[in-house]
Structure 1
């Protein structure tokens, strides 16, 4: 499937999730959630997000990814009406599928930037946590309100949020279920940049395009070393780093980067 809509190329689409490529930034894919009004993440959306993550992971021409939910909301969480009647046995099965989808997004082997406008709550916040960086609109609201339903986050919130902001801040947010604004999210490290709402998506696209022009294998290695290193002890993490570092000496990008440095000075390399 390939079609042009409003100047962007839709290279794949489901009922509520599509992959868009702006011809001005051909190396950047946008995984766009579109389930009005607030992008609740029902089972269908979850499956489509997993499919989109797999596709952008496999395509070498797409070198960076933006997660975006539109101007109104990034994603306001799970579809509570869909979940309300699920039994324990139902959720044992469904939670495995849910986590697999988020893992697929988190392990996209290239830079992933979440462009967060409006609400990023519950599963929406957990989806934003799967990105490498988060550009937040000044109207963004983050939160893990599951405790108010008698639940806890079930798609990575207790783990990814803790690794990002530390255990005390994560516990306070999860225990209270409160929402925080963009400036507080920036202060505690949940957001990386805060920009006016009208500029959020463009800022994320520009950052993604900058990263997409970088050395693909080195970016992949850096992401692998950081993410996998967080899962293990320091000695094991250092070994992961060593192997990723050494492996880059087999890539053409390493040759391009070093030759450029010697002949032209730092920061002039152009990677393919």
Structure 2
């Protein structure tokens, strides 16, 4: 698929974005996240792209999550300016969630952390029957960003979100479907055709109806948004986590493939 971190395809009224970092298990780097934002902003101005499918390269991973080691590389001036003033992860997630037409997350492999969050921002999620998903921040000593938590509660409710984040467990495709993280589980061999057929059915419907319905649904969901004071308090908690000994221990344990020993400091 070449060296592009994001591969773009358009077929009829269906656009497809392929996360293309197979050597990094399709981890979400700064430049990949900014590219997702830029492409979806461009496509949102094109009334012909009425459904978007997002998937990963290969059969192993949809996305292993946020690439904490990534440093912006080979950024265009436009991408560099965006990264300077915005959080690339939150910017990309918002672009997926707020795309004016329906989006489909085609989970071709496991989805963890921010990779699962990216899939969750899609309107519909379809997964191969052998995928696994999970949210590991608690095992790494991290506090997840409030907008991401809001997005999970919007889709699976508070109770399931608490379980997902507190346990940091890994779930198979059927368990994820039962929780509401995935809408459809299909045999791997049927994943592409099932996803495309749904995308094409959607794109044949009234563009006015699709856009209007999605806009109203997003407006209703935004009723759960945090106040500026709440966001400030959350940012302080997240910053405290980034400076903690627990985060260092979580990262070290992950690299050493052992269970972390947290102290709460």
Range into which the TM-score falls when normalised by the shorter chain: 0.7 to 0.9
Q: TM-score, normalised by structure 1?
A: 0.72
**1:215: how far off?**
0.3
**1:72: how far off?**
2.0
Alignment of 1:220-239 (within 5 A): 220-232=211-223
Identify the match of residue 166 of structure 1 among 153, 157, 160: 157
Q: Contact 2:126–2:186 at 8 Å: present in 1 too?
A: yes
Deviations 1:136-195 (A, max 9, x none): 110111111111111133384311111111111101111121111110111121111100
How many residue pairs end up in the alignment?
211
Aligned CA RMSD, in angstroms, stands at: 2.2
Q: Contact 2:130–2:173 at 8 Å: present in 1 too?
A: yes
Q: Contact 2:30–2:88 at 8 Å: present in 1 too?
A: no
Residue 240 of structure 2 is matched in structure 1 by none
Residue 19 of structure 1 is matched in structure 2 by 8
Change in Cα spacing, 1:98 to 1:14, as seen in structure 2 (3 Å) is farther
1:194 is paired with a residue whose SS is strand
Identify the match of residue 46 of structure 1 among 30, 33, 42: 33
Q: Contact 1:126–1:155 at 8 Å: present in 2 too?
A: no
Change in Cα spacing, 1:108 to 1:197, as seen in structure 2 (3 Å) is same
Change in Cα spacing, 1:168 to 1:67, as seen in structure 2 (3 Å) is same
Alignment of 1:74-85 (within 5 A): 74-82=62-70
Q: Which runs of 5+ in 2 are unaligned?
A: 72-83, 225-265
1:101 aligns with 2:92: yes
Deviations 1:83-139 (A, max 9, x none): 8xxxxxxxxx78733212210111110010000021111110010011000001101
- Measured in 2, the distance between the counterparts of 1:153 and 1:172 equals 14
- Measured in 2, the distance between the counterparts of 1:94 and 1:42 equals 17
- Measured in 2, the distance between the counterparts of 1:27 and 1:222 equals 18
Residue 119 of structure 2 is matched in structure 1 by 128
**1:81: how far off?**
2.6
Q: Which runs of 5+ in 1 are unaligned?
A: 6-12, 84-92, 234-272
Higher RCO structure, 1 or 2 (CA under 8 Å, sep 6+): 2
**1:14: how far off?**
7.9
- Measured in 1, the distance between the counterparts of 2:67 and 2:185 equals 28
- Measured in 1, the distance between the counterparts of 2:113 and 2:146 equals 9
Alignment of 1:1-272 (within 5 A): 15-22=4-11, 26-37=12-23, 38-70=25-57, 71-82=59-70, 96-154=87-145, 156-232=147-223
Q: Which has the larger radius of gyration?
A: 1
- Measured in 1, the distance between the counterparts of 2:22 and 2:60 equals 9
Of 215-224 and 93-102, deviating more is 93-102
Q: Contact 2:34–2:91 at 8 Å: present in 1 too?
A: no
Q: TM-score, normalised by structure 2?
A: 0.74
- Measured in 2, the distance between the counterparts of 1:195 and 1:155 equals 32
2:142 is paired with a residue whose SS is coil
1:66 is paired with a residue whose SS is strand
1:104 is paired with a residue whose SS is helix
Q: Contact 1:139–1:182 at 8 Å: present in 2 too?
A: yes
